[in-house]
Amino acid sequence: MFLKKYVFLLTLVAMFVASPAAQANKQMDTEDKVSILVKALEKKDTKAVKQAIKAIGAYGKDAAIAIPELLKVLKDRPALSVYTGTFGLAPIGEKIIAPLLPLLQHKNKNVRLGAATALKTLGAKSATKQLLPYLNTKDQAVQNILVGLLAHSPPASLPNMLKSAKKSKALRLAVIRIFGAMGQKASHKAIDYLRRSLMDKDKQVQQHALTSLGQIGDKAGAAVAVLLIFFQPSYGALRTQAIDTLVKIGRPSLPTMLEVLGHGNASFREAGLTVIGRVGVSTPRITRALNSMLKDRDGKVQKAAKQALARLNKKATTQKAPTKR
């Protein structure tokens, strides 16, 4: 019995002693295989190059030695840029981030898109500081990818985003878009920044802030009071957008909308009724308020009250209707 245990222990020790050498040999084998695949990247046959790219990517981090050659394919063969970024570079991991960043500003749009797609596939959310400056791009496709990527950044990156937003209008608009893309995960600080952006003198900033608050939804209730400024008829398209945003915020907007029904400006009352009807939440208080507005002195307000009641009644009828089996 003792002899068997002794032999087992010796075998176990031998395995651990031998493992570094075995791992080194395995690494050498991997590098040899990747090196062979790298040579295949020089072929003119697109299908063969694609196969080589995907095979290299399958080695993941162990294929890091192929980064220079993969980058060369990405730059020199634009038609394969997105494929190279997705299946060749992204699987290698964070080592690709630094060499890809300059390519986000490459003169060829396919190369820019390939670099951005690689970062998206990798999910480079830890590279917030590095990515922020590249938001200032006129390439909408690339910016969309970066916005979506940065929307998943850790909360600690928020100060960097706010700092970046001060550098230019383009970056400010991009940061506003990022906060909207965060949706329900947007922090109170991000929502407060959007709320303050509603009061900006720049119409485009206001438009972006309205869109982002709508994307965040019911968590953006803190912005409801400020949204009332857009109920004035002079805001035109922004008024319509503000109503849409309040509808997307939903229930948190209703108490304020009920208060608006007593506003001296008919345009405000009409907008409030529109929001209430489209949110579609019916309570005794809301029903009483809408019925009272049927007697409003303004014809447009009366019409809006009828439409709101019709929406609520239709929804109530639909909810009570028995489901067909």
Question: Does the residue 182 lie in any domain?
Answer: no
Nearest Cα neighbor of 184 from 215, 226, 147 is 215
- Give per-residue pLDDT as tens, 35-68: 999 999 999 999 999 999 999 999 999 999 999 9
Q: What is the mean pLDDT of residues 137-150?
A: 95
Question: Does the residue 206 lie in any domain?
Answer: no
Q: Using the 8-state DSSP alphabet, how is residue 85 labeled?
A: I
Report whether 176 contacts 146 (CB < 8 A). Answer: no
Question: Does the residue 135 lie in any domain?
Answer: no
Question: Residue 10 pLDDT more than 60?
Answer: no
Give the per-residue pLDDT at 34. 92
Question: Does the residue 109 lie in any domain?
Answer: no
DSSP string, 131-149: HGGGGS-S-HHHHHHHHHH
What's the predicted TM-score (pTM) here? 0.84
Task: Tell me which residue has tokens 């068997």.
Answer: 4
Question: Residue 4 pLDDT more than 70?
Answer: no
Nearest Cα neighbor of 176 from 164, 319, 184 is 164
Give the per-residue pLDDT at 216. 98
Report whether 149 contacts 157 (CB < 8 A). Answer: no
Nearest Cα neighbor of 270 from 304, 236, 240 is 304
- Give the separation between CA 300 and CA 53, rounded to whole angstroms: 64
Question: Residue 264 pLDDT more than 80?
Answer: yes
Question: Does the residue 215 lie in any domain?
Answer: no
Report whether 241 contacts 210 (CB < 8 A). Answer: yes
First to last CA, the chain: 71
The tokens for 313 are: 């009644």
Report whether 38 contacts 56 (CB < 8 A). Answer: yes
CATH code, domain carrying 297: 1.25.10.10
59 contact partners, CB below 8 Å, separation of at least 6? 30, 33, 34, 91
pLDDT class for 23, splitting at 50, 70, 90? very low
- Give the separation between CA 178 and CA 190, rounded to whole angstroms: 9
Q: What is the mean pLDDT of residues 264-287?
A: 96
Number of domains in the chain: 1
- Give the separation between CA 171 and CA 185, rounded to whole angstroms: 21
Question: Does the residue 294 lie in any domain?
Answer: yes
To the nearest whole number, what is the mean pLDDT of the chain?
90
Report whether 261 contacts 273 (CB < 8 A). Answer: yes
The tokens for 256 are: 């304020």
Q: Please state the separation of Cα 181 from the chain's center in Å.
A: 4
Question: Does the residue 181 lie in any domain?
Answer: no
- Give per-residue pLDDT as tens, 159-194: 999 999 999 999 999 999 999 999 999 999 999 999
- Give the up-direction half-sphere exposure of residue 132: CA atoms within 13 A in the CB hemisphere: 20
Domain carrying residue 278? 250-318
Question: Does the residue 259 lie in any domain?
Answer: yes
- Give the separation between CA 6 and CA 12, rounded to whole angstroms: 10
